[in-house]
Amino acid sequence: MKFSCPKCKSKIEIQKTFNKKMHVSCSSCGIEDLLEFSKNYDEVFLEFLSRFDDGLVSEKGISENLKDEGIIRDENEIKKMIGKNKPDIITEAVLFSKKDYISEYKILKHPEPKMGCNVDEMGLEDEITTYLKKIQINQFYKFQEESIKEIIFGESVIIEAPTASGKTEAFLIPVIQKIK
């Protein structure tokens, strides 16, 4: 259900926190409040409206309270975690959104896999070699080379490698080779 802000009529966001509280906020005008947890969002919204009418809802005023409650991290702590890294715009928006507790920020860098043999040197069917070159695969990574050889010899193989590093090719090429 969509709730409207009593101040500017924009959409109100109601978010459960991990410590049995409900954070109610409007991203347009900035009013926000921290209320006791309830399973019923209607009750939470009605409590928010009642507190708004009584002048108890603040405009960007509960950030300190959110930090004290352990719901969000202080901006300086987040900046310290980022250090000299420069996150992209989307990542930075998430880090400083004050919608989630940032437990840790770390950039994981995966080294480039070691290169293996050229496609020509693998002993694959000519049609497979030609097609691989056509799609600009001229050399295998070392893990692909080893996996292809093991699978061709009938061994079971498990590959652990980053996303988009060529695991699918390492499994499919020997299967296609056997089908030929």
**What are the domain boundaries of the chain?**
3-71, 72-109, 115-179
Task: Provide the pLDDT for residue 167.
Answer: 92
Task: Provide the pLDDT for residue 131.
Answer: 95
Q: Which amino acid is at 19?
A: N
Q: Is the pLDDT of residue 72 over 80?
A: no
Q: Is the pLDDT of residue 81 over 90?
A: no
Q: Which amino acid is at 27?
A: S
Per the listing, tokens 């978010």 go with: 15
Name 26's bridge partners.
12
- Provide mean pLDDT across the span 53-60: 82
Per-residue pLDDT tens for 98-154?
766 777 878 777 778 899 999 999 999 999 999 999 999 999 999 999 999 999 998
Of the candidates 178, 121, 117, 126, which has an alpha carbon nearest to the alpha carbon of residue 153? Answer: 178
Give the separation between CA 119 and CA 37, rounded to whole angstroms: 61
**pLDDT, the chain, mean:** 86
Q: What is the pTM of this model?
A: 0.46
